[in-house]
Amino acid sequence: MSLIAKSLKKLQSDKIKRDSYFFGKVRFSHLGGLPVYIVMSSIAVFFLGVYSFDLFKVVNAQIKKDFSFEVYKIEREIKTEELAIHKEISKKPQTLEYLLQSGDLAKMGQIAEKENNIKYLGIYYVETSNPEKGVSLLELYLKNHNDNQAKMYLALAYLKEKRYLDALNELEKIKSNRYEVFLDKAVVLEKLGLIKNAIQNYEIAYDRSKDPVVKGMIKAKITVLRFVR
């Protein structure tokens, strides 16, 4: 046998001896299963971290894409309390309520000012970037009227001015089972940092809404609040 062959054989023999010595002397059972526990714990922590990170990315992406429960959403979701109003505006297209629902705020404001209708004039200012003036008019109107729609817009005006407690107090005065009321409460409670109460109101809004798009956005919001709470 050549020297090279002998050397290769010796190297192979030495390797077998080292492996045999290591695995023969050091076994997991001799250490009470500690390495197995460490490995399994490490794997669990790793996959938990990956899952949490992936969940956060998915939820965050969903919220950025589908959900924006800020002032604009509340503005668009405010509706009249009585169905009779909707029947009326369909017959008389020039009514202030019709102009409000159709989004013709400029014309609504002109007519409201001409008629000195402080309710719709107040709504006009709330909707057109002058919430302070809207607050003064709607507060004056509500001194003599029990009008849920006016209360909703007054709460919105408070929200725009970041008067969150005033907005919440106004929403609490509204006796209605409409999902929009609970949705608005949830938004304000979230602004106040009362996340648990916000989730409760989001859940009520979810149960009472019939709109699948709105329900999807509310569900996404609840998921995020539970994740970051």
Query: DSSP letters of 43-92?
Result: HHHHHHHHHHHHHHHHHHHHHHHH---SHHHHHHH---S-HHHHHHHHH-
CA atoms of 217 and 206, how far apart (whole Å): 9
Distance from C-alpha of 119 to C-alpha of 142, rounded to nearest angstrom: 9
pLDDT above 70 coverage of the chain, percent: 59
pTM: 0.61
Q: How far is CA 75 from the centre of its chain?
A: 16
Q: 80-175, which class in CATH? A: mainly alpha
| Cβ burial, residue 165 (10 Å; 0-12/13-18/19+) | exposed
Look-up of token digits 């995020």: 224
Average pLDDT over residues 50-58: 55
Q: Give 120's pLDDT tier (boundaries 50, 70, 90).
A: very high
Q: Which two tokens stand for residue 162?
A: 């970041």
Single-letter amino acid, residue 142: L
The band of 14, judged by pLDDT with boundaries at 50, 70 and 90, is very low
Burial label for 159, CB within 10 Å (0-12, 13-18, 19+), is buried
**Least confident piece of the model among 20-24, 66-70, 140-144:** 20-24
The reported pLDDT for the residue numbered 12 is 45
Residue span(s) of the chain under CATH 1.25.40 come to 80-175
Residue 140 vs residues 52, 132, 143: alpha-carbon distances, Å? 51, 13, 5
Position 105 confidence tier, pLDDT thresholds 50, 70, 90: very high
Joined tokens for residue 207: 């149960």
Is the model more confident about 47 or about 149? 149
What six digits make up the tokens of 201?
């109101």
Helix (H, G, I), strand (E, B) or coil at 15: helix
Residue 9, pLDDT score: 39
Residues in the chain: 229
Task: For residue 181, give the nearest of 81, 90, 95 by alpha carbon.
Answer: 81
Mean pLDDT of 140-167: 95
- pLDDT at residue 197 in the model: 95
Distance between CA atoms of 127 and 104, rounded to whole angstroms? 11
